[in-house]
Amino acid sequence: MNIELTEEHLAVRDAARDFAQNVLKPGVIDRDEQQRFPAEEIKQLGELGFMGMMVDPKYGGGGMDTISYVLAMEEISKVDASCSVVMSVNNSLYCWGIEKYGTEEQKQKYLVPAAKGEAIGAFCLSEPEAGSDATSQRTTAIDKGDYYLLNGTKNWITNGGSASYYIVIAQTDVEKGHKGINAFIVEKGMEGFVVGAKENKMGIRASDTHTLLFNDVKVPKENRIGEDGFGFKFAMSVLSGGRIGIASQALGIASGAMELAIAYSKEREAFGKPIHQHQAIAFKLADMATDVEASRLLCLRAAWLKDQKINFDKESAMAKVFASKTAMWVTTEAVQVHGGYGFVKEYHVERLMRDAKITQIYEGTTEVQKIVISRSILK
């Protein structure tokens, strides 16, 4: 495996870092407090090519590799995880799924606008009782000839209120189990489609997370992705790639908190010298740096395998497990390094700590990822 960064990789990383530090950072605290969706910032991300990074240029994307995506996600997440989760869902779950498995007509109609950043996509799997279990879908899509009649509820949907297009996983034939599941593209504004109230969350508060209600929504037959019964395989494939995005978000949250802790340790003095000269702090920083670097390598490994078209299910799950655990630990320690100031919003680390927790939950909890890993190593 060779993950030596090219000049193109470095240019992508630097562009993302510049955007995060100069555009996102000035308003990130206000957006968090007000739970305000970063609409203008997301539009600018799209103009820079970060909303369809891995999409073929003929469909309006950047044609970049997954390593570039990891680098950009890390830099954006260092500053604003609410913004990066919008970017992650649009890239990993929505655009990648349609480009890989959609028809040419679906790509032209639903992929191009999202890849250009002119529209936002969402991925709808989780349900009130099913969570991320794709085999236990209660949402149904009954074949009515020219269309499917969609009924059900989806929970915890990122971009739920801001998206224009939604990939919805639904059961079409209960007797067939997971082979009776399909994926559909649903447009906002279709009759019977209702966006529920926005969730009041602990972290990633500027991203909009909603419950979605489908009441006899007529979905055209041509909006089904893949052959009849392909929905379960589609969801599993898309989620595996999505783990790379969330692992990279966790990596960014951790590395952002570590950088803030290092900078503060050089400024703050105690007992006559900067606190980084005390072993109690120096050892914390050393442990942070080690776990952050290990997380980065796991993310890049999974990205490299994906780019080589080698199965990466186990590696993406490992990256998500380790990076999310690292994010939670590093942010907590960063608050500790800051002392009382770490509890104050203007120092940013308390927000990063709140944002870190969700990386252990969405795209499948840590326990779900461990099932994926164990099944792979026990084959």
The residue segments making up the domain with residue 63 are 7-120
- Say how far apart CA 135 and CA 180 lie, in whole Å: 9
Residue 294 covered by a domain: yes
Catalytic residue IDs: 363
Residue 2 covered by a domain: no
251, 159: one domain = no
The overall average pLDDT reported for the chain is: 95
- Measured from the Cβ of residue 371, the count of other Cβ atoms closer than 10 Å reads 12
36, 138: one domain = no
330, 219: one domain = no
pLDDT of 368 above 70 = yes
CATH number for the domain that contains residue 317: 1.20.140.10
Residue 1 covered by a domain: no
- Say how far apart CA 124 and CA 219 lie, in whole Å: 15
Residue 188 covered by a domain: yes
Banded pLDDT at 364 (limits 50, 70, 90): confident
352, 342: one domain = yes
In the predicted model, what is the mean pLDDT of residues 171-193? 94
CATH number for the domain that contains residue 137: 2.40.110.10
Predicted local distance difference test score (pLDDT) of residue 33: 97
Predicted local distance difference test score (pLDDT) of residue 345: 94
- Say how far apart CA 212 and CA 207 lie, in whole Å: 15
109, 139: one domain = no
68, 155: one domain = no
CATH number for the domain that contains residue 116: 1.10.540.10
Predicted local distance difference test score (pLDDT) of residue 134: 65
Residue 26 covered by a domain: yes
Residue 162 covered by a domain: yes
Helix then strand then coil, in percent of the chain rounded to 5, is 60, 15, 25
Indicate the residue among 68, 87, 120 that finishes a domain: 120
Strand-pair partners of 122? 166
pLDDT digits (tens, 9 = 90+) for 66-93: 999 999 999 999 999 999 999 999 999 9
161, 112: one domain = no
pLDDT of 132 above 70 = no
Residue 60 covered by a domain: yes
Provide the total of helices (H) and of strands (E) in the chain, helices listed first.
Answer: 13, 10
Residue 90 covered by a domain: yes
- Measure Cα distances from 131 to 126, 127, 170, 255, 316 in Å: 4, 5, 13, 29, 20
Number of domain units in the chain? 3
Banded pLDDT at 175 (limits 50, 70, 90): confident
What is the model's pTM?
A: 0.95
243, 373: one domain = yes
